[in-house]
Amino acid sequence: MRFPSLFEGVNVDMATKYAALLKTMLLTSFYAPVSPIATVFAIAGLILVYWSDKVSFLANWKVLFHYLS
């Protein structure tokens, strides 16, 4: 077992996180005229996701960089 790998953290796919954020925002803008309370729930959800991702990122995430060749 490699001990340094225990401290590297888990891989994060930022594209998936960005797609989920855009999906939430677009669905909220679509349903906001029908149900205005959806906007409040979406903002609360985005704030919750922001803080949970921030804490997780500082604790144990590892972002992989893919460079174009």
- What total of structural domains would you count in the chain? 1
Which pTM was predicted?
Answer: 0.69
Q: Is the pLDDT of residue 11 over 80?
A: no
Lowest mean pLDDT among 1-5, 35-39, 55-59: 1-5
Is 29 part of any domain? yes
pLDDT at 55: 83
In-domain check, residue 69 = no
- Is 62 among the domain residues? no
The pLDDT of residue 12 is 74
Is 61 domain-assigned? no
At 32, the amino acid letter reads: A
Assess whether pLDDT exceeds 90 at residue 30: yes
Residue 34 sits in which domain range?
A: 10-56
State the average pLDDT over residues 17-27.
Answer: 93
Residue 65 falls inside a structural domain: no
pLDDT averaged over the chain?
A: 82
Look at residue 18 and tell me if it is in a domain: yes
